[in-house]
Copies of this chain bind each other. A is one copy, B any other.
């Protein structure tokens, strides 16, 4: 009997893992051949890829294997949704040391499967190789259903900036993990002493398993969104992409950034733990990885309730395209790799 993927071997692992992945109407050919075949009904395919590296993007002591699988899938599917497309398929590369427990690989695959099922997509192919650190590559494909893609460059002066999905929770969850709080038992005494409820726990789960509002991507496209992206590096930094791509100035109004109660509680708990720093609004402005959607609409758009207008688009001033917060320059504090 084997317990590590090294004992099970590459082909044994592939056989066990691919058995988990059901097809959908979009899957013409799934795993097992030189390549997969996926439908592309409108004669275009949307495609995006990400790499996740252990200790840089996730830690096994902070996230379960299923969390890592769900998050890796989610961040790529969110990129498809942010184009206004419907996700159809994922391809997954999995590099890991031979000593990795088979159970970890299987739970990771289960996370992939579950997130794909939630988004209506399917895992159609992949690759497994040996490596010293767990490294995951995910490529997501999508279908624009005959619509134009919603790119980053369509914002015009007078437009409104709106968001849907949680903001700041993942960032606060990361701060809690850094402060040593990994679950309810990690801060029970402190939160009771500070009179804080337990909704802060949602920040941990949002960090481990973000829940991007996938269906809102195509819905925003149908509403006529002029620009859209998913908030992966922080609202200010990501809106900066829209400002520069369209040659506009974007102002975010902090009064419109109503923190989720879970975020407010997490900030209070972090203060009580002596690990305070960012306020709730700062987590919203500068925290990443929630994979909420931010989009620009014409001011006449009748936005559904779950889109919150948080800012406005203007012609650029002397400083050129940029993002301000309540009219003042905002320093991006996002993450940059290699540095």
Residues in chain A within 8 A of chain B (CB atoms): 5-6, 8-11, 13, 28-29, 32-53, 56-57, 79-80, 82-83, 85, 89, 91-96, 98, 124-133, 135, 137, 139-142, 144, 149, 151-152, 228-230, 245, 336-339
A165 to B45, CA, bound (A): 31
Chain B residues whose CB sits within 8 angstroms of the CB of A79 once the complex forms: 34-35
* Interface core residue of A36, A41, A48, A228 (most chain B CB under 10 Å): A48
Partner of A9, one of B57, B229, B336: B336
Contact present for A56 and B129 (CB under 8 Å) = yes
> What's the nearest-Cβ distance from chain B to residue A97, in Å?
8
Partner of A51, one of B47, B127, B230: B127
* Interface core residue of A42, A93, A133 (most chain B CB under 10 Å): A93
> What's the nearest-Cβ distance from chain B to residue A264, in Å?
30
Contact present for A131 and B56 (CB under 8 Å) = yes
Contacts A6-B339, A37-B149, A96-B338 known; list 13 others, CB within 8 Å.
Answer: A10-B339, A34-B48, A34-B79, A34-B82, A35-B47, A35-B48, A35-B79, A40-B45, A47-B125, A49-B126, A56-B131, A91-B139, A130-B337
> What's the nearest-Cβ distance from chain B to residue A232, in Å?
9
Chain B residues whose CB sits within 8 angstroms of the CB of A125 once the complex forms: 47-49
Chain B residues whose CB sits within 8 angstroms of the CB of A89 once the complex forms: 47
Known: A6-B338, A10-B336. A131 touches B49 (CB 8 A): no
Chain B residues whose CB sits within 8 angstroms of the CB of A91 once the complex forms: 47-49, 139
Partner of A56, one of B29, B35, B82, B130: B130
Contact present for B44 and A38 (CB under 8 Å) = yes
> What's the nearest-Cβ distance from chain B to residue A98, in Å?
4
Nearest chain-B residue to A76 (Cβ)? B35
11 contacts between A and B (CB under 8 A): A10-B336, A10-B338, A10-B339, A33-B151, A33-B152, A34-B83, A38-B47, A41-B43, A47-B91, A53-B130, A95-B135
A330 to B8, CA, bound (A): 23
A141 to B45, CA, bound (A): 9
Contact present for A135 and B53 (CB under 8 Å) = yes
Contact present for B36 and A47 (CB under 8 Å) = yes
Contact present for A130 and B34 (CB under 8 Å) = no
Known: A125-B49, A337-B129, A338-B13. A44 touches B28 (CB 8 A): yes
Contact present for A48 and B36 (CB under 8 Å) = yes
A6 to B83, CA, bound (A): 30
